[in-house]
């Protein structure tokens, strides 16, 4: 199985927050002062985000003529994600001991990169991947807060604080651009952070030459519990050891 996507959550492709770029700001759960800066907002968000137990994430993406969506709950030790693109979908569930993958035929082949033979073995079951396997480690890193929360935040260098606050939330808007590469178009992101109480991401908007996506973060601090699939098949029966 050649999983071609670590996860459908766009947030995992963002750069990790570099503490070296935001040093010198007092540790606080909110952006200090009446004149916050990029550094103070990111430092406050970094401090706050590591204390959170979970978050609910929704993503709506338009690329060409295809609409796709993600609904995910990311917790300390468990998480779940359902990705839908057109008529195809897949669901990933992570627990402290297993990760599970299920989906439609093309959801597993076209979107996740399984072969037709592997998808046929899974059928209507969920493929179970035990803790300690590389597949489990990959999914756990994307759907639990240990690394995913940190990867929500940009680095301070190249990020600017917009002069006006978000119209709907009154939050602080940070904007940055990622240059085009051989595999990705130029990307522009605006992330909104709460301006009252704890400084945490509220939403972000990403635009490229080929599409756009909008992400909403809510239920910060939620305790995430997931439902374990009732019908499973061990991944070793789907993907024999080479």
Average pLDDT value for residue range 97-114: 94
**Phi and psi dihedrals of 155, rounded to 5?**
-80, 155
When pLDDT is cut at 50, 70 and 90, the band that residue 191 belongs to is: very high
Contact partners, residue 188, CB within 8 Å, separation at least 6: 175, 176, 177, 178, 206, 207, 208
Mean pLDDT, range 65-78, rounded to an integer: 91
pLDDT exceeds cutoff 70 at 17: no
- Predicted confidence at residue 147, as pLDDT, reads 66
Instruction: Kindly give the pairing relationship between strand 211-218 and strand 54-63.
Output: antiparallel
Reported confidence tier of residue 82, pLDDT bands at 50, 70, 90: very high
């Amino acid at each position: 199985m050649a999983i071609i996507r670590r996860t459908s959550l766009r947030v995992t492709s963002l750069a990790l927050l570099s503490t070296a770029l935001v040093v010198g700001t007092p540790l606080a759960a909110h952006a200090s002062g009446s004149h916050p800066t990029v550094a103070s907002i990111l430092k406050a968000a970094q401090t706050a985000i590591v204390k959170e137990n979970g978050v609910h994430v929704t993503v709506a993406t338009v690329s060409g003529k295809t609409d796709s969506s993600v609904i995910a709950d990311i917790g300390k030790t468990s998480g779940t994600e359902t990705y839908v693109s057109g008529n195809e979908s897949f669901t990933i569930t992570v627990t402290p001991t297993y990760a599970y993958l299920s989906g439609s035929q093309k959801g597993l082949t076209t979107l996740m990169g399984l072969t037709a033979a592997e998808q046929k073995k899974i059928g209507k079951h969920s493929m179970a991947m035990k803790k300690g396997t590389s597949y489990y480690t990959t999914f756990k890193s994307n759907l639990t807060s240990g690394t995913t929360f940190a990867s929500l935040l940009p680095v301070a260098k190249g990020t600017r604080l917009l002069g006006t606050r978000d119209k709907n939330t009154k939050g602080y808007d940070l904007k940055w651009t990622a240059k085009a590469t051989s595999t990705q178009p130029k990307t522009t992101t605006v992330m909104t952070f709460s301006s009252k109480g704890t400084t945490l991401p509220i939403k972000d908007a990403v635009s490229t030459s080929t599409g756009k996506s909008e992400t909403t973060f809510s239920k910060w601090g939620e305790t995430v519990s997931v439902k374990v699939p009732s019908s499973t098949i061990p991944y070793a029966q789907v993907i024999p050891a080479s």
